[in-house]
Amino acid sequence: MRFDQHTIVLLLRPAGAPELPQDAADLLENAHLAHQAGLVEQGAVLAAGPFVDHDDEQIRGVAVLSVDPAMARELFHDDPAVRAGQLVAHVFSWMVPEGNVRFENVPVPRSMLEVAAGD
């Protein structure tokens, strides 16, 4: 059997992450979304999004990448939320049977305003 290998980045909120005023947190969230959208446009990120309704609030989101783990670490090191200490990126290789998972090229939000618009 053949396998496809993808890179998974699990984004966690670290214990002791600095508290930010709401306006600074909003700006950082927009910068994080813009960074993610840029990685999608480059073809590095195949899918990404936050987790909701879960038991562990430290676990914030996940991204599936088309690049190797070393490149994923570099790309997420540049994520503004990671650089600000609000998120930590844990990188894994993920193998699935060939063709088992497919990703469509769909637009992703670049800001919370786009998320709120719902279109």
pLDDT tens digits, one per residue of 25-51: 999 999 999 999 999 999 999 999 999
Whether residue 2 contacts residue 98, with contact meaning beta carbons closer than 8 Å, is answered with yes
Instruction: Average the pLDDT over 7-20 and give the result.
Output: 95
Encoding tokens for residue 29? 């969230």
Please determine, for residue 106, whether its predicted confidence score (pLDDT) is greater than 90.
no
Contact residues for 60 (Cβ-Cβ < 8 A; gap 6+): 11, 12, 13, 50, 51, 87
Place of tokens 């599936």: 64
Q: What is the DSSP string of 58-107?
A: TEEEEEEESS-HHHHHHHHHT-HHHHTTS-EEEEEEEEEETTSS------
- 17 close to 81: Cβ distance less than 8 angstroms: no
Does residue 86 surpass a pLDDT of 90? yes
Residue 98 pLDDT greater than 80, yes or no: yes
